[in-house]
Amino acid sequence: MTSIDPQMRGADPRVAGGRLTVDLDALVANYRQMAERSTPAEAAAVVKADAYGLGAGPVVAALVAEGCRKFFVALPEEGLAVRAAAPDAEIYVFNGLFSPEAASFYREGRLIPVLNSQTDLAIWEAHGWDDGDTPRPCALHVETGMNRLGLTPERTRILAQENALTGALTPQLILSHLACADTPAHPMNRQQLESFQALCALFPDAESSLANSAGIFLGGEFLCDVTRPGVSLYGSNPVNDTENPMQPVATVQARIAQLRQVPAGGTVSYGATPVTRDTLLAVTATGYADGYHRSGSGAGVPLRNAVPQGACGFVDGERVPVIGRITMDLTLFDVTDLGPDALQVGDLIELIGHNMPVDDVAMACGTISYELLTSLGRRYERHYVHGGDRI
């Protein structure tokens, strides 16, 4: 891969308020690790929500080059974007069919729907596409404990009997979702596995898939035939209370728009957060419209319980705290301890990256890395690193 679609470049770097750098080499390394952990199963890749906010086109192209042949998205329009970067891949769409008209999207992109309900089954039987001699290829989502989407065990058994007679559908993959895989000792994991195995036995010709990123670390029988790593590919720790084995992929930086002095006793931002010393502020041109959540606002703002002091940035070798409330387009950092001449307008403060792990930032915002990454806005200038070079 030697080029990036200009649409993926984001904002013009001359005027952008921040920078998002996506390390595709780290992404590929994370996929390689998850593929090795998945052996003997095949590792697919979950690239929904524009590859967790990092750009489906470049991400999918890098994964295809590494050998990934199966991808999962949430919606058919996402599937069409993946198809453009992966012409020969199997692309599964989690959220199923909303109407008969939706079937045309699947036909156009040779997308494989994940059928979640009786309605999905009926629509696909009537309007699905045929792959040569294979009638209406699909995946079946079976319910094992999440009680979200999915066919009930009873409906799954009926379908297995009916389809054995009619051959109206070709289930290529049976899947379910683990509710508590990020807590390895949770008894729900084993309960779901046993329920899933019983339902998979009804479709002996189909592959099976149960493990998400955290499920892969459960190993053994949980791996089934196909694993579905998602957030781990993008650098987040998939298992609670463990050291993160994944490489950071996204680096988010905010540009300093102004440096200003506030005397002790002054106040900053909405709600008038007081400052208790003479303070040097770095006013950066990134805010919650860019995915830097308001709940990460500085100490004294009653928006979260997990990390009372709020979020921090990293610049000039030091962590610097957010001060006051994060606003739509601007965030304030207390850079007093760096000295009066350390920074200047136009410098960048790291919000997420090697020095500010995405899981730590998410905790400071009272959320999870999934939400933080998928919230990244389109106002960043975007850079992609591949083969050690910025492309």
Mean of the pLDDT values across residues 271-285? 95
3-state secondary structure 41-100: CEECEECHHHHHCCCHHHHHHHHHHHCCCEEEECCHHHHHHHHHHCCCCEEEECCCCCCH
Kindly list the structural domains of the chain, giving each domain's residue range(s) and its CATH number in brackets, ordered by start: 40-234 (3.20.20.10), 250-390 (2.40.37.10)
Q: With left for phi above 0 and alpha for psi between -120 and 50, is residue 23 left, alpha or beta?
A: beta
Residue 48 catalytic? yes
Per-residue pLDDT of 49-105, as tens digits, reads 999 999 999 999 999 999 999 999 999 999 999 999 999 999 999 999 999 999 999
Task: Give me the residue label for tokens 């050690």.
Answer: 388
Write the DSSP symbol of residue 151: B
Binding residues for substrate are 148, 328
Using a pLDDT cut of 90, give the percent of the chain over it.
89
Q: What is the pLDDT of residue 391?
A: 78
Q: What is the pLDDT of residues 124-161, one digit of tens each?
A: 999 999 988 899 999 999 999 999 999 999 999 999 99
pLDDT, average across residues 224-249: 97
Distance CA 317, CA 98 (A): 51
Predicted confidence (pLDDT) per residue in 294-347, tens digit: 999 986 454 445 556 789 999 999 999 999 999 999 999 999 999 999 999 999
DSSP 3-state assignment of 172?
A: strand
Q: Which of 142, 140, 113, 116 is nearest to 128 (CA)?
A: 113
pLDDT attached to residue 6: 60
Q: pTM (2 decimals)?
A: 0.94
pLDDT-based confidence at 1, cuts 50/70/90?
A: very low
Q: Please, which pLDDT band fits residue 7 given cuts at 50, 70 and 90? A: low
**Above 80 in pLDDT, residue 8?**
no
Q: What's the mean pLDDT in 265-293? A: 95
Choice among 52, 106, 234, 270 that is catalytic: 270
Q: Which residue has the tokens 């904002």?
A: 11
Active site includes 31? no
Binding residues are: 148, 328
From the candidates 31, 48, 106, 288, give the one annotated as an active-site residue. 48
Size of the chain, expressed as the number of residues it contains: 391
pLDDT value for 366:
86
pLDDT score, position 2: 45
Mean pLDDT of the chain: 94
Q: How many CB atoms lie within 10 A of CB 242?
A: 11
Give the lowest-confidence range in 151-155, 204-208, 360-364. Answer: 360-364
The owner of tokens 């066919």 is 151
